[in-house]
Structure 1
Amino acid sequence: MSALVTGAARGIGAAVVRALTAAGHRVVATDLQPPRPAVPGVPGLALDVRDTAAVIAAVARAEDLAGPIDVLVNVAGVLRTGPVTGTTDADWHAVLDVNATGVFRVSREVGRRMADRGHGAIVTVASNAARVPRAQMAAYAASKAAAAHFTRCLGLELAPAGVRCNVVSPGSTDTPMQRALWTTPGGAAAAVAGDPAQYKIGIPLGRIAEPGDIAAAVAFLASEQARHITLQNLVVDGGAAL
Structure 2
Amino acid sequence: MVTGTAAFDLTGRTALVTGSSQGIGRTLAEGLAHAGATVIVHGRDAAKAARTAEEIAAVSARPVFSAVFDVTDPAAVDAGVTAIEASHGVVDILVNNAGIQRRAPITEFSDEDWDDIVRTNLSSAFYLSRRVSRGMVARGSGKIVQIGSVQSQLARPGIAPYAATKGAIVMLTKGLCADLAPHGIQANAVAPGYFATELTQPLVNDEQFSAWVRGRTPAGRWGDTKDLVGALVFLASSASDFVNGQTIYVDGGMTAVV
1:158 matched residue in structure 2: 180
CA distance in 1, matches of 2:210, 2:64: 31
CA distance in 1, matches of 2:202, 2:127: 27
* 1:131 and 1:145 in contact (8 A); partners too: yes
- Aligned-partner residue type, residue 25 of structure 1: A
Superposition CA RMSD, Å: 1.5
2:93 matched residue in structure 1: 71
CA distance in 2, matches of 1:205, 1:221: 23
- 1:205–1:183 Cα change, 3 Å: closer
Q: Structure 1 length normalisation: TM-score?
A: 0.92
Equivalent residue for 2:164, pick from 138, 142, 160: 142
* 1:33 and 1:45 in contact (8 A); partners too: no
Give a deviation string over 1:51-104, Cα, whole Å, max 9, x none: 111111111222233322110000000000111111011111110110000100
Does 1:17 pair with 2:29? yes
Deviation at 1:185, TM superposition (A): 5.2
CA distance in 1, matches of 2:229, 2:104: 28
Give the secondary-structure state (helix, strand or coil) at the position aligned to 1:149. helix
Deviation at 1:27, TM superposition (A): 0.9
Alignment of 1:164-175 (within 5 A): 164-175=186-197
2:6 matched residue in structure 1: none
- 1:186–1:133 Cα change, 3 Å: closer
Alignment of 1:170-185 (within 5 A): 170-182=192-204, 184=206
Does 1:59 pair with 2:73? no
Give the secondary-structure state (helix, strand or coil) at the position aligned to 1:124. strand
CA distance in 1, matches of 2:226, 2:205: 24
Deviation at 1:190, TM superposition (A): 3.7
Give a deviation string over 1:99-125, Cα, whole Å, max 9, x none: 000100011000111111100000000
- Aligned-partner residue type, residue 69 of structure 1: V
1:240 matched residue in structure 2: 254
Bigger CA drift: 24-33 or 179-188?
179-188
CA distance in 1, matches of 2:192, 2:121: 14
Q: Structure 2 length normalisation: TM-score?
A: 0.86
Q: Percent identity?
A: 35
* 2:187 and 2:245 in contact (8 A); partners too: yes
Alignment of 1:68-217 (within 5 A): 68-182=90-204, 184=206, 187-193=209-215, 202-217=216-231
Equivalent residue for 1:226, pick from 212, 227, 240: 240
* 2:95 and 2:144 in contact (8 A); partners too: yes
* 1:128 and 1:235 in contact (8 A); partners too: yes
CA distance in 2, matches of 1:57, 1:171: 33
Equivalent residue for 2:40, pick from 28, 43, 49: 28
- 1:59–1:205 Cα change, 3 Å: same
Give the secondary-structure state (helix, strand or coil) at the position aligned to 2:228. helix
Deviation at 1:177, TM superposition (A): 2.4
Gaps of 5+ in 2: 1-12, 58-62
Give a deviation string over 1:182-224, Cα, whole Å, max 9, x none: 562565444212xxxxxxxx10011111111112211111111
- Aligned-partner residue type, residue 39 of structure 1: I
CA distance in 2, matches of 1:212, 1:62: 27
CA distance in 2, matches of 1:183, 1:173: 13
Give the secondary-structure state (helix, strand or coil) at the position aligned to 1:85. helix
* 2:72 and 2:120 in contact (8 A); partners too: yes
* 1:33 and 1:47 in contact (8 A); partners too: no
